[in-house]
Homo-oligomer: A and B are copies of this chain.
């Protein structure tokens, strides 16, 4: 499910973190669903277990998953983010919008993309 790009300068553990984050956000993984074990995922991604472990740790501190010793890792049921995280997201969002406009993308097209995402997220619920 997750594709790693070794050419990308972004660290592997971040790519894994982001990949799982997307799966959770898009609703592909349900609340309290169990994630693959650290070992299994490391094998299927041909990556060192420590790298996966680190990704899971990050996801845990960010509140996306929770970890049970000797059991496994599970999708968190209460998505919560602090003010700072939300603000950062809005900043990054605004940055992308400004660049898109700068490169000539028009209002209608951007709104179209935005509405499409809203509809997808609605359906996922």
Asked if A25 is at the interface (CB within 8 A of a chain B CB), the reply is: yes
B-binding residues in A (CB < 8 A): 6-7, 9, 11, 21-22, 24-26, 61, 66-69, 71, 79-82, 85-86, 89-90, 92-105, 107, 110-111, 113-114, 117-118, 121
A38 → chain B closest CB, angstroms: 15
A106 to B, closest residue via Cβ: B118
* CA of A113 to CA of B100, assembled, Å: 15
A78 CA to B104 CA, complexed, in Å: 11
A99: nearest chain-B partner, CB-CB: B89
Contact of A121 among B95, B101, B111 (CB under 8 A): B101
Q: Within the complex, which residue of B9, B94, B117 is in contact with A94, where a contact is CB–CB below 8 Å?
A: B117
